[in-house]
């Protein structure tokens, strides 16, 4: 059974940007070529999930709303935080997102329930699953998602035992893998001792919410951050960002990273994002919620309004968790006739000396 998009919908107008590798386009726009030729239902749903989640408790910030709102109105084209408390002008929000990537790679073990809701034209995607991560630089993680659009349903799994990261869906797409040991070998001592090398976590953020944060760090320029509490009293940060036009000052250099920033991004790409991070000591900078927006065209010089496209939420969060060997094991599907190796797209584009510094060829 196949699903062809309505040609009048955003899906029907997807086009591959010139020079964009097939794997990157598939990861972000889920292979428009396959969709146009009549992709399976699984491909269609996984497209919607990856399109938003790689670009992952509703927060209600409620103190000093009037004062902060006055400050908010002076910002350039902002996404309003949800009843903000106070602007944190002393913090660079880009550094905060980078620290969130580092925490996702080197922080404690965690388990959560993941929920997603996305809108794209006439299509609505609802997803729910679970996420586990061992943290501590092990690279071990597992994410399962059940994705539904109307009566259509499919599943996806991403799992890493610390050596191989596998991504697989329940349809006829071949499983994909990344050899983490090859990435670590290229990084040399930077992978073993990341102190003084903030970019090390970016190279190692492969799979799960670590890679989601890596994408958010590269793709969006974060220009404001607020501090507040959610309805349960949890301390949180809430950040807003818009599409970048140049790379961040601290960066990794891989094929994947080189395509996060596009001078002419496809119109389907969310233009703005709001990110909510934990602000407590137990699980600092964990991404509670990501909300993706698209700005409508301006009218008479007035910026268009922001339309919510998708949200990814983590709830029922536990840390630390008990890790078993079986949790991160993966068995290739019996019907898989081939495996796609994506390792080269995560390797540094420049040699890295054992001291952990980039050296051009």
Q: Which residues contact 209 (CB under 8 A, 6 or more apart)?
A: 56, 104, 131, 133, 143, 287, 314
253-286 b/e (C-beta count within 10 Å ≥ 16 → b): bbebbbbbbbeebbebbbbbbbbbbbbeeebbbb
pLDDT single digits (tens) 163-190: 999 998 766 678 999 999 999 999 998 9
* Mean pLDDT confidence for 90-110: 95
CA 320/CA 230 separation, integer angstroms: 22
Distance (Å, whole) CA 24 – CA 48: 15
Sign of CA dihedral 309, 315, 320, 323: negative
| 309 membership: H or E segment, kind and range | strand 306-318
Pairing of strands 110-120, 123-133: antiparallel
Q: What is the DSSP string of 223-291?
A: EEEEEEE-TT--EEEEEEEEE-SS--SS---SHHHHTTS-SS--TTS-SEEEEEEE-SSSSTT-EEEEE
- Residue 5 is predicted with a pLDDT of 33
Is the pLDDT reported for residue 134 higher than 90?
Answer: yes
How many degrees, rounded to 5, is the angle at CA 183 between CA 182 and CA 187? 115
Burial profile 28-59: b = 16 or more Cβ within 10 angstroms, e = fewer: bbbbbeebeeebbbbbbbbbbbbbbbbbbbeb
Sheet strands (E) in 121-216: 123-133, 140-149, 152-161, 164-169, 176-179
pLDDT in tens, 286-319: 999 999 998 888 888 888 888 898 999 999 999 9
State the pTM of this model. Answer: 0.79
Average pLDDT over residues 123-129: 88
Q: What are phi and psi of 272, to 5 degrees?
A: -140, 155
Q: CB of 276 within 8 A of CB of 286?
A: no
Mean pLDDT of 237-264: 89
Exposed e or buried b for every residue in 68-82, given b needs 16+ CB within 10 A?
beeebeeeeebbebb
Cα 145 from Cα 132, distance rounded (Å): 12
Hey, where are the domains in the chain? Answer: 16-331+338-346
Which is higher by pLDDT, 65 or 135? Answer: 135
Query: 3-class SS at 143?
Result: strand
pLDDT digits (tens, 9 = 90+) for 193-245: 888 899 999 999 999 999 999 999 999 999 999 988 876 778 899 999 999 98
Exposure letters 309-323 (e unless 16+ CB within 10 A, then b): bbbbbbeebebebeb
> Is the torsion defined by CA of 237, 243, 248, 253 positive or negative?
positive
Does the structure show a pLDDT above 70 at 80? no
16-331+338-346 CATH choice from 3.50.30.40, 2.50.20.10, 2.40.10.10, 1.25.40.420? 2.50.20.10
Q: Does residue 10 surpass a pLDDT of 80? A: no
What is the spatial distance between Cα 58 and Cα 239, in angstroms, rounded to a whole number?
14
């Amino acid at each position: 059974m196949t699903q062809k998009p309505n040609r009048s919908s955003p899906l029907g107008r997807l086009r591959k940007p010139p020079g964009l590798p097939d794997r990157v386009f598939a990861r972000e726009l889920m292979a428009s070529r396959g969709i146009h030729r009549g992709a399976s239902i699984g491909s269609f749903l996984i497209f919607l999930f990856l399109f938003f989640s790689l670009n992952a408790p509703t927060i209600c910030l409620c103190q000093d709303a009037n004062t902060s709102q006055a400050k908010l109105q002076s910002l350039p084209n902002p996404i309003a935080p949800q009843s903000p408390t106070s602007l944190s002008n002393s913090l660079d929000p880009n550094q905060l997102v980078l620290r969130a990537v580092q925490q996702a790679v080197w922080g404690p073990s965690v388990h959560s329930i993941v929920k997603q809701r996305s809108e794209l034209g006439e299509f609505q995607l609802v997803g729910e699953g679970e996420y586990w991560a061992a943290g501590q630089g092990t690279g071990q993680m597992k994410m399962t998602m059940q994705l539904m659009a109307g009566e259509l349903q499919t599943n996806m799994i991403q799992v890493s035992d610390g050596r191989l990261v596998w991504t697989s869906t329940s349809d006829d797409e071949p499983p994909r893998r990344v050899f983490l040991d090859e990435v670590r070998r290229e990084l040399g001592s930077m992978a073993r001792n990341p102190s003084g090398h903030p970019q090390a976590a970016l190279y190692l953020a492969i799979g799960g919410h670590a890679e989601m944060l890596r994408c958010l760090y590269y793709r969006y320029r974060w220009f404001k951050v607020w501090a507040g509490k959610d309805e349960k009293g949890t301390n949180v940060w809430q950040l807003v960002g818009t599409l970048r036009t140049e790379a961040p000052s601290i960066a990794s250099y891989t094929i994947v990273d080189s395509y996060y920033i596009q001078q002419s991004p496809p119109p389907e790409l969310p233009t703005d994002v709001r990110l909510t991070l934990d602000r407590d000591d137990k699980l600092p900078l964990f991404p509670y919620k990501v909300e993706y927006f698209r700005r409508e065209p301006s009218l008479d010089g007035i910026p268009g309004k922001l339309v919510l496209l998708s949200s990814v939420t983590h709830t029922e969060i536990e840390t630390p968790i008990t890790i078993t060997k079986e949790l991160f094991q993966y068995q290739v599907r019996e019907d898989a006739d081939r495996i796609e190796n994506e390792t080269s797209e995560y390797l540094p584009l420049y040699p890295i000396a054992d001291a952990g510094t980039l050296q051009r060829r």
